[in-house]
Structure 1
Amino acid sequence: MPERTLTFHRPVPGAARTPGGWQLTWRGCAVMGIVNATPDSFSDGGQHGAPAQALAHARALHAAGALVVDVGGESTRPGADPVPAAEELDRILPVVRALADDGAAVISIDTLKPEVADAALRAGAHLINDVSGLRDPDMLRVCAEHGAPACIMHMQGEPRTMQRRPHYDDVVAEVHGYLTAQADRALAGGIPSVLLDPGIGFGKTLEHNLTLLRALPRLSAGPHAVLVGASRKRLIDWLAGAPHAADRDPGSLAVHLHAARAGAAMVRVHDVAGHVQALRVQAALEVHHG
């Protein structure tokens, strides 16, 4: 299995200090666990909306084998309305501070707002997951100032409108081109390391999503680690008839096992324990290829 690395310019749990910074290294496909500190999450009905609930859930996901826990205080589901920065921070900062005090988990923050990213990194977060793909130059600056890697995601439009009529002339070329250009920009701007996320379900039709998933080997063959997040998304319902998000874990596993085989370095999931188990079995079955 290939070795993966993310570089940070600050101490990170589990990372080794090197002349170039703190390096977090793993083999194969790691798991990022989703912590929705929101009252309106599409997948879990806001059951982790209170900070104490979100914190307990984050700790449980880390214990279940998540390499990274991804804490978000604003829903980015299709049609979602923006949340004021102060409200987003009220939701996530108690979770971030407590996790940072634990000193065990690598903490990612799922946010579009540079001011939220800055406050969260000051509170002890390590990585920024920006679904807008560093469109805002202030987000790039914040990550660079803190020496924090960024997960750069492709999204056509913005959450409120992205699923109305998504259109591409060549979805693979456009998404890959955008991610590659943004990665170059990020590294040139001082961000130490990046993850690239093709943005399954973010401004894409079913066919766009399937085309991108089939083309993952091309994106994964590049110099940057690739993250895939299809967990409980509408794609699973379209393919397998699962209208309720909570019933989509089996389909999510199928997509993410495909992503791992196609070279993804990380998958972003709700069901951490199930994915950790499935990925270990798949890795064992494929060891003869390595």
Structure 2
Amino acid sequence: MSKTTQANFSASIKNQLDTVQVMGILNVTPDSFSDGGQFTHFDSALKQVEQMIEQGVDIIDIGGESTRPGAVDVRVQDEIVRVIPLLKAIKSRFDINVSIDTSKAEVMSEAIIYGADMINDVRALQNEGCLEVVAQSNIAVCLMHMQGMPRSMQENPQYKDIIDDILEFFKQRINCCERSGINKERLVLDPGFGFGKTVAHNYEVLAKFTEFKALGLPLLAGISRKSMIGNLLNRDVNERLAGSLAAAIVAIQQGANIIRVHDVQESVDAIKILKAVAKYQI
């Protein structure tokens, strides 16, 4: 690498680190793969939010329906009851950005009414009514790539070229959003680690994550505690902190603007180390 190229790369990393945000996961579901049932009680959920804020979180991501492999669908009204009262409580008590992890237009509509800052949709606004609901607002939205559906997405997923396939998917969804009146500047992209991808697919996506920067939009990486870490390291879901942090660091170095995590304090600390080192790079 030439000195000029190295300097440009270092400057890019420094700028990147200045804008990296930590999204803390708050699952209010009984069956999420890592923390299912842990924060279904209203008071315990609010206590977890307060703790994450103290630890330096930038965004709270509330999920009312598990999207783990084999997950069962949740009724619209049940999901609304799980997430909307909590959203209202958080926005009234704390000065923090809140994302709602949902694929249902009705939930999105309620979330927008009560002050959500982002919609995080694993189906990339493909469900009926979602494009229209988001288009009528100014809310940010994260479009995630997923091959198949949660119940069956891990049954022998295949790609011609996984990076090209995901890029093409994103281009199509961006075009759909723009045609529906959703400005491109409101979009965030997530290649969907663990969603219709083998272990090998996931690590190829992580290794080539920077290629998604070609689309000119912020990127989200959600790798925390996932099976791609557990299967590689032979670790149970609550023994994946080291692997999750290593993957998050790689994602940030490959251009991630947001990392979605269970372990906020440790992730914030890791980013501080990256920033401290970046000060002394060319």
TM-score, normalised by the number of residues in structure 2 = 0.90
Where do residues 63-102 of structure 1 align in structure 2 (5 Å cutoff)?
Answer: 63-102=54-93
- Look up the equivalent residue of 1:145 and give its one-letter code: Q
- Contact 2:170/2:189, CA 8 A, preserved across alignment: yes
1:188-203 correspondence runs (5 A): 188-192=179-183, 193-203=186-196
Deviations 1:215-260 (A, max 9, x none): 1111124310000001100001111110x21111110100010000
CA contact (8 A) 2:27 2:36 kept: no
Aligned-partner Cα distance in 2 for 1:130–1:272 = 21
TM alignment of 1:24-103, pairs within 5 A? 27-103=18-94
Report the counterpart of residue 275 of structure 1 in structure 2: 267
Letter aligned with residue 260 of structure 1? I
Q: 1:78 to 1:104 in 2, by over 3 A?
A: same
The answer to whether the aligner puts 1:258 opposite 2:250 as a matched pair is: yes
- After superposing the two structures, state which structure 1 stretch, 186-195 or 247-256, moved more: 186-195
In structure 2, give the amino acid aligned to 1:76: T
Q: How much does 1:185 deviate?
A: 2.6
1:137-179, CA deviations, whole angstroms, 9 ceiling, x for partnerless residues? 5212211212111100000011111011111111110012111
Amino acid in structure 1 at the alignment position of 2:23: M
- Unpaired segments ≥5 residues, structure 2: 1-12
2:278 match: 286
Equivalent-residue separation in structure 2 for 1:94 and 1:130 (angstroms): 20
Equivalent residues of 1:149, 1:191 under 8 A apart: no
The AA in structure 1 aligned to 2:223 is: A
Larger Rg belongs to: 2
Inter-CA distance 90–206: structure 2 relative to 1 (3 Å threshold): same
SS at match of 2:22: strand
Letter in 2 for 1:165: N
Match of 1:182 among 173, 176, 201: 173
Answer yes or no: is the 8 Å Cα contact 2:124–2:142 preserved in 1. Answer: yes
Cα deviation 1:106-125 (Å, max 9, x = unaligned) = 01000010101111111221
Q: In 2, are the aligned partners of 1:108 and 1:125 still within 8 Å (CA)?
A: yes
Does the 8 Å CA contact 2:28/2:36 hold for their aligned counterparts?
A: no
Alignment RMSD: 1.7
Count of residue pairs brought into register by the alignment: 268
The SS at the match of 1:27 is helix
Q: For 1:127 and 1:250, how far apart are their aligned partners in 2? A: 28
Task: Tell me the amino acid that sits aligned with residue 214 of structure 1.
Answer: A
1:63-95: CA deviation from partner (whole Å, max 9, x where unpaired): 211111000000000000000011111111111
Change (3 A) 1:238 1:196: same
Report which structure shows greater RCO (CA 8 Å, sep ≥6).
2
Displacement of 1:103: 4.5
Distance 2:108 2:15 in 1: 28
Preserved CA contact (<8 Å) 2:14 2:278: no
Q: CA deviation at 1:288?
A: 4.0
Q: CA 1:115 to 1:274, structure 2 compared with 1: closer, same or farther past 3 Å?
A: same
Q: For 2:139, which of 120, 126, 148 is the aligned residue? A: 148
Cα distance change on mapping 1:179 and 1:236 into 2, 3 Å: same
Distance 1:248 1:88 in 2: 28
Runs of 4+ in 1 over 4 A off after TM superposition: 1-4
d(CA) in 2 for partners of 1:217 and 1:135?
Answer: 25
Residues 120-129 or 57-66, more deviating? 57-66
| Contact 1:201 1:235 (8 Å CA) reproduced | yes
**Which residue is equivalent to 2:161?**
170
Q: Which is further off, 225-234 or 276-285?
A: 276-285
